[in-house]
Amino acid sequence: MPVVREFTLPDLGEGLTGAEVVRWLVEVGEVIAVDQPVVEVETAKAVVEVPCPYGGVVTARYGAEGEEIPVGAPLVTVAVAPGEGPQPLADQDPPVERPLVGYGVAERPAGARRARVGARGASAPAVPVAQAVQVAPVAVAAPVAPAPVASAAPGVVAVISPLVRRIAREHDLDLRTVAGSGPEGLILRRDVERALSAPAPVAAAPVAEGVVPLRGLRKAVAEKLTRSHQEIPAATCWVDADATALMELRAELNRAAGPKISVLALLARISTAALARFPELNSSVTPDGSGIVRHTAVHLGFAAQSERGLVVPVVKDAHALGTEQLGSELARLTEAAREGRITPAELTGGTFTLNNYGVFGVDGSTPILNHPEAAMLGVGRITPKPWVHNGELAVRQVTQLSFTFDHRVCDGGTAGGFLRFVADCVEQPGTLLRQL
């Protein structure tokens, strides 16, 4: 006899408490293989596919699309044939689930196809078809004999006369809305004529406003920004900088063979250099507010636009990377975010954020800190502006730099020193970057 195993929603990383069902990948009655993705869910971090560690026949699914499922709640139940898949673990007390394949990257074996119980031509899954047919009654209810009109299930229309049906069809009348006056609720011609002669219901006034529920990423962002605004006494300072030399350096570097260097990569390298000189800004305040955690590694977050909205991928150990390496990692994470392939691990663990809002065509911003980080560097658009250069008025490539910081971790002198160093690197990148 098959054993029905229950697969619950696991913790998808970073202590997430739940996930929203985006799309079911299997149906009840379908035969699945071990580690086959069964559902696509959206967490506060990313959209991922969840593989099931059991192979067999899906006997139940829990949660409709759009519904949030808590971690530890049932996702699916699977009827596992003896000796198949992870069945030996069922003998343990309590049963132990086998480890899952990595979320979002698990793929079906080459040539494997989903198979329904009894489907002609289905490929062989984890549970042999012969055994799957024996398991099928677990998921399929027994047939029910037709009930008389008086005890018909809700939605069954009690109509015998073809004339009654034709009149209703010609007048676009839904017979399910008509109360029958005949024996056992039978709908007669007079019932249809009475329904047609009744005054039409007054249409409800159009709704002028609607409520869009906060779900998934938008909900997580709202909660995080609210917490940041409530807990962190943030302050912002800013300065204009002449980025002409920075743009010239980038053009010079990109004339050489090899990967092209982006402005963001140069700014990321300048940020890690600035944090090396002002390490107190690569920190966070403890949850109870009693201390400051100084981070030894710089995990650099940066804002990136995706179909799910604005996300913040994290370049791990950015302090150990050169400009070309930073550019390569920034490009990889940006592409993954845009294509929806980014993982929760790549969106967490940041210690400092670089926010290039200049891509939106704006000059300045006072952002809310990415809790629990203590600082964020913002960069506006680089655009031609009048500027005094070498004592003369000239048109130069100018940008506005802003720096938002947690005032608990440092005073204005430290924040100002950090921002001034960044501005100097932007204005004289050749000289200062060679000294780093």
Indicate which residue of 171, 229, 389, 407 is catalytic. Answer: 407
Query: In this structure, what are the phi and psi dihedrals at residue 135, rounded to the nearest 5 degrees?
Result: -85, -20
Strand-pair category, 383-389 with 3-8: unpaired
Indicate which residue of 229, 317, 389, 411 is catalytic. Answer: 411
b (16+ CB within 10 A) / e for 274-303:
bbeebebbbbbbeeeeeeeeebeebbbbbb
Beta bridge partners of 60: 77
240 catalytic, yes or no?
Answer: no
The continuous run of DSSP H or E covering 130 comes out as: helix 129-135
Angle (CA) 211 213 216, round 5°: 160
407 catalytic, yes or no?
Answer: yes
148 is written with which tokens? 């008389």
Which residues form the catalytic set?
A: 407, 411
